[in-house]
Structure 1
């Protein structure tokens, strides 16, 4: 795993030697003392931030459930403080059973223990959860903005190396870089595991090559080793009159946040071993070697990496290094790309990002994922960024501010983790926040001056991403609250059942799809003689609702033969559809959490067609962390205690399984209901929601204008995306067709007719 991690997550930080010194000394010829100071700044910045902060602290305290990044730290804090988004099972949170039911000993209040006492109050209950969520969003947005700049910086810097031996090709650097980037993004569908197998040998050769080059240059000027003393770094900062030079020095640590985000792909131990044994020593040798070369050739800072290659330009070793550098920088983009995949996958998990389709590319590591839609959107963004900036010098002038801000977010979240999760003494967390927070602030201040030179771009991208994610979470929060509020207790839905003296036993009700009143008949007509579009259901009234529904107000002496009426909006005739099962597709978390409620779609069905199938099953699909789930343990069915013919069902799939509610799954669900072996027709009931915004105020008022903006955001942005991505149907029924009544009828399979009924509903947020 360590070897594979070299090919996926260290390309970014490993190719920084291509442009660091040219950024520190862009237009000047440094003195020996200045060069030693720059090398010292690089050495200590890398050692303190990468090795001490991230390798020894963040990688131990930050990951949650095997995942990294700011989302992982937030999930750990939210799980401990119980402030996560409503209706979301946070990664690593205890799931008592398949139905998400909590026993009395595992209720929300009993889990808080002594921590709850310290977390009471308006700030900790209202403000602090929002601060944590906002920090999470900002951190994720900064990584995404880095995901646009890092591939651009790395590839342009590498391809730009061809200008040294062939200056006439300078106009082709940008087009060649764009072609390379397109190929890289098209390869992402192979998965990080397969790509790392290809990339790991290349990156390994790269690290060996830069280490050897560094050693050769150090041997020519060994006095460069004096720069390991922090005195030279302090002298350089004093000589330049401030910390501005840190804005260029910190380019040596770009990519470390992506490395933390990529932990889920390869595991914490492999990342730490790779850092300590390969990345840190090889990079330090290269940086010291370049400094030794610059001391001897102070005018070479503009392209010190390529010029420091022993033998000079147009030699075999030069072209070998050029090819390795080009390949390594292409691979450098890989770290940010899979980091964005990991972060957005976690954001989707906690319901803070649109539910794009996530493909798992490894059956052994759950964190290795590929998100096709995000991959292509990121590709378009990177290509546009490359075309806009044109040269690597323009990009490096804009690079660094987003990374330094990301450092502050991580430091803040880790400090909170020390306080609230680990319960460490206050002085330990204060020392961590003070030391690393001060360094992070210095880097931010040093990079603020880059804003007019291009740093506004990652800042703008981060702000836009933060606004979108915040808006999405706000809209989803309103919708989830609406879903919870629309749930109905079974007793409330069927509380009005009583005898209907107008119908005689063993008659049949025919419900017409054309809105006609139900009419009692003494025989069951042939369905084909009436026409499918004229008749929706045949309901024999001797199979009535008393054995399914609550028995309130029913005479026990004659309930087996008495028709019933469900008083819903004035009273509607209700009967039972014999040998029929209805599977209501619902959300496992929102609906199945409560063993006493049913979703509002049941009430809507009774409005559309006031009849009940003999078996009503509320089903939710869950994707678990295991790669595969065998058929025997995939399905769990549980009857409602008060209404034994109503059932809750959870169908589990592994992350590598093909999610498909086909006839075999339906047969397995029915097989777990002993009395349902006589079922011959199965209906899939799916709610087709239309989301609208509430309007209370006239448009001309200030409140009306704000209301119009809110409505536009909900109806034009949230509603279309949620409609496309939020409701996936996993039903497979071949040769389906639709009539004008909206009823889908499938083919005969497994001796059961499969039908799909979409019920429309308007949701006002």
Structure 2
């Protein structure tokens, strides 16, 4: 009898969890309506007028056009993206080209050096800190999986190039989609009141600015606001479609693909597919926004709500055009029952305006998601990323990118002025993005899922050929404005590739500049402390450092030393350093060896790269060697400190700080501070006090943050020989790019990182910051 009660309770708990999970899925599916489908949901505003821009179509042409829309949408959006891409493409819950690249690079072990790829299993800090293994040796053990010139040399560059190109296409689309959607919707004013035609442009710019300013609220809150509007919009266009279909039900014979084939033959090629492609704009953002809501909610909302509503709308417009072919210029507004200036007309107009504003939301979120992933793999400048939800890791907001994108969209809107001009330039970038996604999915089928050739070859030939048809149709639009997304894509791809190249040079320099402790200190290999073991795991203190306000009055105020070594002199107001002890345990390697003076009761926190901190147990950063050349003395405790951001919102107190003593070097420790993505990641007084407790630093009088302040310069070369002038020209371009483009940007983001690490609270001891200047030659 007891076991039956237990079984009943278990079943009831399990069903309750399933119901709760189902409710969460439905809620996310509803929210996705307001964040993802605004773009693809507002395509009926301009698709038919783009297919027939300057002629009145016949009945067969209308049936052929709607047949092309139906089958292209079904094959590309439903079969390819909803079923195949959303199942095979996401990586660690994220979507887009970066996710596909990360999945491939993680499988083939060809990712950027020093980067933990999304989805890659991270070793426990406690275990890694205790091991004597280098990052390079790990790579050498796994690289044996790659065989052949293509996999070892060409494939990594090809995958990264496709990733950068695909991301740039989405970024260029992020400029055109808001412009197209908003101009098309606001243009409805001119249909009902032609005298307001000149007001369309300024109203559109104002609406776009308000949209970008609202992004700081976060995608979760915006989705709760936008989702009901998009749902009403989809229901409204479906109802309008049903009313028009009822007037001419024979339009459903266009479901036969024969009408689409005959229409393409009549048009004499694939040029018309450029207009058909506009019905699928936004699907690439749907894949990029997977991290905001999840795969299953997106699939449910797309197949259950969006797809049937759009098909009814397109068939309804086709039915109206068959009866009124002269209304092709603005078929969406003219097919509204009752005509213009009626209550239902203005209701649809208001919904269209709101829906087109929301249409921009999908691309904005896609840009945020892609750039966050690019920053994570060190392929884009490290803009500050703000997570807007503690439940969904992918819901992010990047303030600087948001305002840059706002300026770009407004300028694009002013430049194109009308929706017809924008739609002439729209579509080429999206079709090229389709082909890039198809290629990367094919590589995933080959290298990640390892399916048989008779599965991935038909996939690539079928979808790749269809994508290329859309690309060819879009190329015909280059003289009419499609050059704009190409130029933006080329510029963005060049910048991202240059940034990754320069960053790889700097990372290689950082790895190559590491100094073995044996080359600095004499006899450390022989002086092995067998009793040095992993210290107790860190625990975040829940109480404050001081019990009452009376003790706060006796605190020593925080002082920022702020002097750069070799650049500035100490000011008279700087307090004298702590007394130096001559009883040091370390000796500098020299002839004869020099004893290293230790400053008692002083702790130095040396901020370094977390990868180097974890995987280099017998090496130290070059900053320490440089510091010893200037000041042959060290604090009593030296902590090599690295930080790591986890994919959890908050880190439990007992796993936040991990410290391990370097057994070869007395007084040296390696430490990793983990923080959740909703936490600041700064060295606060609670974390600092916990570090001091773990290294058993008693009677601490001062803490010094040692931070490297690097200046990047291009190395100088001399050339001789026949081609010296050409090589000198190439070197001048290289020097200009490194010193005039990369170096200023790198200093800006390095300065931002330093400011974050320098932000500490008041302590019961003196806290100083020492910047050590170094020159990095690339």
Q: TM-score scaled to structure 1, two decimals?
A: 0.89
Q: Distance in 2 between the 1:621 and 1:56 partners?
A: 39
Q: Distance in 2 between the 1:689 and 1:51 partners?
A: 51
Q: Structure 1 residue 358 and structure 2 residue 385: aligned? A: yes
Give the corresponding residue for 1:561. none
- Counterparts of 1:22-41 in structure 2 under 5 Å? 22-41=49-68
- 1:304-344 deviations in whole A, cap 9, x for unaligned? 00000000000000000000000000000000001000000
Q: Distance in 2 between the 1:387 and 1:276 partners?
A: 36
Q: Name which of 118, 127, 136 aligns with 2:154.
A: 127
Distance 1:267 1:566, change over 3 A: same
- Counterparts of 1:328-727 in structure 2 under 5 Å? 328-495=355-522, 536=577, 538-541=579-582, 543-544=583-584, 546=585, 549=586, 564-567=587-590, 574-674=596-696, 676-697=697-718, 701-727=725-751
Structure 1 contact 100–593 (Cα < 8 Å) conserved = no
Q: Name which of 757, 761, 764 aligns with 2:774.
A: 761
Structure 1 contact 77–420 (Cα < 8 Å) conserved = yes
Structure 1 contact 38–236 (Cα < 8 Å) conserved = yes
- 1:23-52 deviations in whole A, cap 9, x for unaligned? 001111111100000000000000000000
Give the corresponding residue for 1:283. 310
- 1:471-504 deviations in whole A, cap 9, x for unaligned? 0000000000000001111122113799xxxxxx
Q: Structure 1 residue 11 and structure 2 residue 49: aligned? A: no
Q: Distance in 1 between the 2:579 and 2:444 partners?
A: 61
Residue 663 of structure 1: how far off its partner (Å):
2.2
Q: Distance in 1 between the 2:66 and 2:60 partners?
A: 10
Q: Distance in 2 between the 1:42 and 1:717 partners?
A: 45
Residue 724 of structure 1: how far off its partner (Å):
1.2
* Aligned positions, number: 705
Q: Distance in 2 between the 1:161 and 1:298 partners?
A: 19
Distance 1:163 1:713, change over 3 A: same
Q: Distance in 2 between the 1:584 and 1:108 partners?
A: 22
Give the corresponding residue for 1:166. 193
Residue 698 of structure 1: how far off its partner (Å):
6.1
Q: Distance in 2 between the 1:109 and 1:82 partners?
A: 13
Q: Distance in 2 between the 1:105 and 1:756 partners?
A: 31
Q: Which has the higher contact order (CA 8 A, sep 6+)?
A: 2
Q: Distance in 2 between the 1:497 and 1:439 partners?
A: 65
Q: Name which of 283, 296, 312 aligns with 1:256.
A: 283
- Deviating more after overlay: 465-474 vs 489-498: 489-498
* Structure 1 runs, 4 residues or longer, greater than 6 Å off: 102-113, 115-118, 513-516
Structure 1 contact 690–760 (Cα < 8 Å) conserved = yes
Higher helix share: 2
Structure 2 contact 607–642 (Cα < 8 Å) conserved = yes
Q: Distance in 1 between the 2:406 and 2:365 partners?
A: 13
What secondary structure sits across from 2:276 in the alignment?
helix
Q: TM-score scaled to structure 2, two decimals?
A: 0.87
Structure 2 contact 133–615 (Cα < 8 Å) conserved = no
Q: CA RMSD in A?
A: 2.5
What secondary structure sits across from 1:226 in the alignment?
helix
- Deviating more after overlay: 90-99 vs 228-237: 90-99
- Counterparts of 1:157-306 in structure 2 under 5 Å? 157-306=184-333
- Deviating more after overlay: 637-646 vs 30-39: 637-646
Q: Distance in 2 between the 1:118 and 1:489 partners?
A: 30
Q: Distance in 1 between the 2:293 and 2:746 partners?
A: 32
Q: Distance in 2 between the 1:108 and 1:711 partners?
A: 29
Unaligned runs of 5+ in 2: 1-27, 526-562
Q: Distance in 2 between the 1:731 and 1:72 partners?
A: 29
Q: Name which of 115, 130, 139 aligns with 1:88.
A: 115
- Deviating more after overlay: 395-404 vs 720-729: 720-729
Residue 100 of structure 1: how far off its partner (Å):
8.3
Residue 531 of structure 1: how far off its partner (Å):
6.6
Structure 2 contact 220–388 (Cα < 8 Å) conserved = yes
What secondary structure sits across from 2:187 in the alignment?
helix
Structure 1 contact 487–591 (Cα < 8 Å) conserved = no
What secondary structure sits across from 1:755 in the alignment?
strand
What secondary structure sits across from 1:538 in the alignment?
coil
Q: Distance in 1 between the 2:147 and 2:210 partners?
A: 53
Unaligned runs of 5+ in 1: 499-512, 517-527, 550-563, 735-746
Q: Distance in 2 between the 1:533 and 1:146 partners?
A: 54
What secondary structure sits across from 1:66 in the alignment?
coil
Structure 2 contact 169–430 (Cα < 8 Å) conserved = yes
Distance 1:496 1:639, change over 3 A: closer
Structure 1 contact 247–446 (Cα < 8 Å) conserved = yes
What secondary structure sits across from 2:674 in the alignment?
strand
What secondary structure sits across from 2:672 in the alignment?
strand
- 1:701-725 deviations in whole A, cap 9, x for unaligned? 2222211111111111111111111
Q: Distance in 2 between the 1:602 and 1:203 partners?
A: 58
